[in-house]
Amino acid sequence: MNDLLFVYNPRAGQGKVKTRLAEILSAFVESGYLPTAYPTRAAGDATQLVRAVGRDYARIVCCGGDGTLHEVVAALMEMEEPPVLGYIPAGTTNDFSKNLDLPRDMARAAQVAAGEDIMACDMGRFNGDSFVYVAAFGAFTNVSYDTPQPFKNLFGHLAYVLEGIGQLGNIHSYRMTVEHDGGTLEGDFIFGMVGNTRSVGGFQGWPAEEVKLDDGQFEAILVRPPKTPLELQAILKAVITQSPGEDGLVIGFHTSTLHITSQEEVAWTLDGEFGGSHREVRVETVEKALDLCYHKGE
């Protein structure tokens, strides 16, 4: 039997993984693996563990929200030959799991995580740090890490929406120069995102046919500040429907690299977690960086 490292966050979501642990481990054994289970205890714990012992395992499976996945990927991206990664979504929103079409049922997701359907996925670099699917700044980007966990558990996606609405009257803009594969943009922006995902914050992102996890391209969105309530409504509609209008308030493009300089420090999030404040940011894709298990379907 091959060795499998199972890293799980016992607090993710409503803590359901603790009640399904026997089923999950049984799924690993039935797939021919000898599992070692490790519950994380604090932020950064998963990164430290995988960095220390991850090379000794044929497969690594993590269970939790996108933050847990982010921590595991951070360690795997430091390895020359990282093991295959499986993911059992157990958080509130589980954005990246939608890209892999993973089942919400943990026992079924465990079977996928220990299965043989594997795809190479692009990952991102942000000023040298790794991220899985999204780096963002500006309006609402602090919602996921500021929203209290009990509030997330109770309201789910609605928690993010309710927290975001409370920020509408206090939107800050940033003067920036944005260099990408297709040229340079300058001006004031209230929001920016570069990612490799069909879902952000529980909402559908780019049209599915435009998002490919292994093409070396990320999708980027920049939003200019609205001057009237009607412009704000147009921006919200454009972001939700991913149909930028001709007014230039919402700009979307594909790029493999992004270089952003701003006149002040800007707070960023990486995969929904705080990624520090920066005046200069360099983002690049790492094409087909990791092999991930996915649900192939019937």
Residues 151 and 254 in one domain: yes
Residue 19 to residue 65: CA distance in whole angstroms? 17
Mean of the per-residue pLDDT values for the chain? Answer: 84
> Bridge partners of 288?
none
pLDDT of the residue at 244: 65
pLDDT of the residue at 234: 79
Residues 98 and 223 in one domain: no
Q: Averaged over 218-227, what is the pLDDT?
A: 87
Residues 18 and 54 in one domain: yes
Domain count, the chain: 2
Percentage above 90 pLDDT, the chain: 57
Q: Which residues, including other chains, have CB under 8 Å from residue 139's CB and lie 6 or more apart?
A: 164, 167, 171, 172, 190, 191, 223
Closest CA to 258 of 189, 181, 185: 181
Whether 284 is in a domain gets the answer yes
Out of 85, 116, 147, a domain closes at 116
pLDDT of 13 higher than 90? no
Residue type (1 letter), 289: A
Which domain range does residue 17 map to?
2-116
pLDDT of the residue at 227: 82
Residue 172 to residue 88: CA distance in whole angstroms? 36
SS3 235: helix
pLDDT of 240 higher than 80? no
Out of 88, 116, 144, a domain closes at 116
- Which range has the worst mean pLDDT, 70-79, 85-94, 283-292? 85-94
Q: With bands split at pLDDT 50, 70 and 90, how would you rate the model's confidence at 209?
A: low
pLDDT of the residue at 203: 43
Whether 72 is in a domain gets the answer yes
Residue 127 to residue 196: CA distance in whole angstroms? 17
Residue type (1 letter), 294: Y
